[in-house]
Amino acid sequence: MSGHSKWSTIKRKKGKADAERGKIFTRLIKDITVAARNGGGDETANPKLRSAVAVAKSANMPSTNIERAIKKGTGELPGVIYEEGTLEGYGPAGVALYIEILTDNRNRTVADVRHSLTKYGGNLAESGAVAWMFEKKGLITVPSEGLDEEAILMAVMEAGAEDLKSEEGFFEIVSSTEDLVKVKETLESSGIKYDSANLTMYPKNTIKVEGNHAESLLKILDALEDLDDVQNVYSNFDIDMSVLESME
């Protein structure tokens, strides 16, 4: 397994996910606000907003927070104007890093991202340098304890899922962006709980990272996700979970 979902697993093992709940909400609010600003506050006519709201609900964000974010985007409430963008770079061992940002000061954000990369052996790259290594997909992670893989596979494939992988402690379900909501609703109607359901940049190929390179890469990912203006970080690394235990 690799990249975004692997990093989510690592954070859960480190106990970081719960501590960052408030920060996750901040990022989701930015997503909703920008989607509403660009496409209007009607979810039925704004697919990007509909997707952002669905992700926020899956993270158990209160409806009042969602409504307030939409109104900030449509101008019904005052709010900061954010600029969407992406930055690209490389980590140790040539690992690709695709970084989504939402910022009110791009120059500050670029400087912060560059510092986080170079501090641990990475570097910022030109636009387009690594984007081609990823494709946009829907990604759902489901805790696997007590679940039958074949039964889940049959259910999600009929709903449009493209792949299901069994990893340490959970299943990773990949779909097209268009079928993400349908697959998620199929799980819900079947009473199957999932950890996350998001649009993601899925790596076409992966790079195995070990030893000091693995340690430095995890430090880069931590540093990037600690930046307020960074929304998501995607990578094409493949790392053995035993690396984490050796670092603790």
Say if CB 216 and CB 79 are below 8 A apart. no
pLDDT digits (tens, 9 = 90+) for 59-71: 788 999 999 999 9
How would residue 1 be classed by pLDDT, with cut points 50, 70 and 90?
A: very low
Length reported for the chain: 248
Same fold, 83-132+205-238 and 134-203: yes
Label residue 5 by pLDDT band (50, 70, 90): low
Q: How many CA atoms lie within 13 A of 9 on its CB side?
A: 25
| Token pair belonging to 166 | 């069994």
Q: Which of 199, 204, 201 is nearest to 133 (CA)?
A: 204
Q: 């600003």: which residue's tokens?
A: 37
pTM exceeds cut of 0.95: no
Tokens linked to 242? 């035993």
Query: Strand 123-125 relative to strand 83-90: parallel, antiparallel, unpaired?
Result: antiparallel
CATH superfamily of 83-132+205-238: YebC, transcriptional regulation domain (3.30.70.980)
Report whether CATH 2.30.40.10 matches the domain 14-74.
no
Q: Domain ranges in the chain? A: 14-74, 83-132+205-238, 134-203
- pLDDT tens by residue, 85-100: 999 999 999 999 999 9
Under 8 Å between Cβ of 97 and 88: yes
In tens, the pLDDT along 216-240 reads 998 999 899 889 899 889 999 988 7
The reply to whether CATH 3.30.428.10 applies to domain 134-203 is no
